[in-house]
């Protein structure tokens, strides 16, 4: 029979999965406590959180949620039963920041990795999640777009000034010779 503590943990996981729509299930092997605490601090800056959990309790929470959501049924069919140690990372509204922050941290710490992710109502496997994590953030993309708008106008202004500057330089050199 399940203890009250386990029932409460399953309820907590279920509530978090419902409240925070974006999450990633992570794997970790032989990762020490200090590394995980460093990761937690890093993620907290990006409105994300990390919880280590038992695979069986996570599976029970997903089974509970799958009765009302087709995506959770797909998740259950595709990724269960879970193996290896797991942690769930709940992401904030700007989930790309937390995702890229974890990816950069995982590049340094090779014992961490992705299992799958649930982002904006879509389910992604390990490889797709990694590809998404490599993408630049929203702010970087906006900066690139603005830069690309600015570049043609700068070239036009330079091309219009070029002949005048060249003529001024030639006249300047002629005046210095005389």
* Residue 3 confidence (pLDDT): 81
* Residue 14 confidence (pLDDT): 77
* Residue 96 confidence (pLDDT): 75
pTM score above 0.75:
no
Cα distances from 132 to residues 40, 69, 108, 125, 155, in angstroms, run 21, 24, 18, 11, 34
* Residue 91 confidence (pLDDT): 80
CATH code: domain 4-135 is: 3.30.70.1730
* Residue 164 confidence (pLDDT): 82
Backbone phi and psi for residue 27, each to the nearest 5 degrees, phi listed first: -110, 145
Domain range annotation of the chain: 4-135, 137-178
Per-residue pLDDT tens digits of the chain, which is 178 residues long:
578 887 787 778 777 777 777 888 888 777 777 777 777 777 777 777 777 788 777 777 777 777 777 777 777 777 777 777 778 888 877 777 777 777 877 777 777 778 888 877 777 887 887 887 887 877 788 888 887 777 777 777 777 888 888 888 888 888 888 7
* Residue 15 confidence (pLDDT): 77
């Amino acid at each position: 029979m399940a203890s009250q503590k386990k029932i409460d943990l399953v309820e907590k996981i279920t509530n978090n999965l419902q409240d925070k729509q974006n999450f990633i299930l992570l794997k970790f092997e032989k990762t020490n406590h200090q590394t995980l605490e460093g990761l937690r601090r890093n993620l907290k800056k990006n409105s994300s959180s990390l919880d280590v959990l038992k695979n069986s309790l996570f599976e029970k929470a997903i089974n509970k949620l799958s009765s009302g959501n087709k995506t959770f049924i797909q998740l259950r069919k595709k990724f269960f039963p879970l193996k290896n140690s797991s942690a769930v990372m709940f992401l904030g509204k700007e989930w790309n920041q937390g995702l890229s922050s974890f990816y950069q941290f995982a590049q340094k710490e090779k014992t961490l990795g992705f299992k799958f992710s649930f982002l904006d109502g879509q389910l992604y496997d390990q490889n797709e999640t990694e590809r998404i994590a490599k993408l630049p953030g929203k702010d970087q993309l906006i900066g690139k777009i603005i830069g690309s708008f600015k570049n043609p106008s700068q070239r036009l202004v330079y091309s219009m000034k070029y002949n005048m500057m060249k003529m001024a330089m030639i006249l300047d050199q002629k005046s210095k010779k005389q």
